[in-house]
């Protein structure tokens, strides 16, 4: 049970990861009940402040929120248990480009303030460059190479697949 508290996840689709008939308050309170943590109202107010949402949003439902607001609630749900590790599965891919930057900057700020570790899945090298100190290149579920962030631009990847993947991603971003 403790492992579940110290390791939390933020899913790719913020709408699909929130129960449509549960208010934000219910969504955020449920993990506190499961883990028997008290001081619920203070924790709710703090986590809403942490993710930049007004306290009044506690009484809203997912369909009443924008995609970025829903993702902030999903992040709040993960943070409310004060995890050591936060798993992020493409946390901005379902969001508009303008909202993506807001969420990424929020995640960077929260990591600096709270001191937890991210493990992020992403196909976007720009996101990796912005968020990660190092990254792993995977193929068919196997880690081929673990690289520092600077390897995105300096060509220091050794594995041929990693070299091809980085080159293709950079070419795609350059064309876009």
Distance between CA 152 and CA 155 in Å, rounded? 7
**Residue-level pLDDT at 126:** 87
At residue 142, φ and ψ (nearest 5 deg) are -105, 135
Residues 165 and 112 grouped into a single domain: no
Residues 67 and 12 grouped into a single domain: yes
**Residue-level pLDDT at 1:** 62
CATH, residue 71: 3.40.50.300
Residues 50 and 8 grouped into a single domain: yes
pTM (2 decimals)? 0.88
Residues 119 and 143 grouped into a single domain: no
- pLDDT tens for the 176 residues of the chain, in order: 666 788 999 998 878 889 999 999 999 999 999 999 999 999 999 999 999 999 999 999 999 999 999 999 999 999 999 999 999 999 888 788 888 999 999 999 999 999 999 999 998 888 898 889 999 999 999 999 999 999 999 989 999 999 999 999 888 777 65
Residue 115, Ramachandran bin (φ over 0: left; ψ between -120 and 50: alpha; else beta) = left
Residues 62 and 145 grouped into a single domain: no
Which residue range is the domain that position 169 belongs to?
134-176
Residues 161 and 96 grouped into a single domain: no
Alpha helices of 1-155 — where are they, by DSSP H?
A: 2-6, 24-34, 40-50, 67-79, 97-114, 125-131, 151-154
Q: How far is CA 60 from CA 25, 28, 69, 70, 172, in A?
A: 8, 12, 11, 10, 39
Residues 42 and 88 grouped into a single domain: yes
């Amino acid at each position: 049970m403790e492992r579940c508290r110290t390791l939390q996840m933020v899913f790719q689709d913020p709408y699909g990861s929130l129960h449509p008939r549960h208010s934000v308050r219910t969504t955020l309170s449920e993990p506190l009940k499961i883990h028997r943590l008290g001081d619920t109202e203070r924790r709710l107010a703090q986590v809403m402040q942490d993710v930049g949402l007004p306290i009044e949003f506690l009484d809203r439902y997912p369909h009443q929120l924008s995609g970025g607001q829903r993702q902030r609630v999903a992040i709040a749900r993960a943070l409310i248990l004060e995890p050591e590790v936060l798993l992020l599965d493409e946390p901005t891919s379902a969001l508009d480009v303008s909202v993506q930057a807001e969420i990424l900057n929020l995640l960077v700020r929260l990591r600096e303030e709270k001191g937890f570790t991210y493990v992020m899945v992403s196909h976007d090298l720009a996101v990796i460059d912005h968020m990660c100190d190092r990254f792993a290149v995977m193929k068919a579920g196997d880690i081929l190479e673990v690289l520092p962030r600077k390897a995105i631009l300096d060509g220091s990847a050794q594995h041929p697949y990693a070299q091809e993947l980085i080159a293709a991603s950079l070419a795609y971003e350059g064309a876009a």
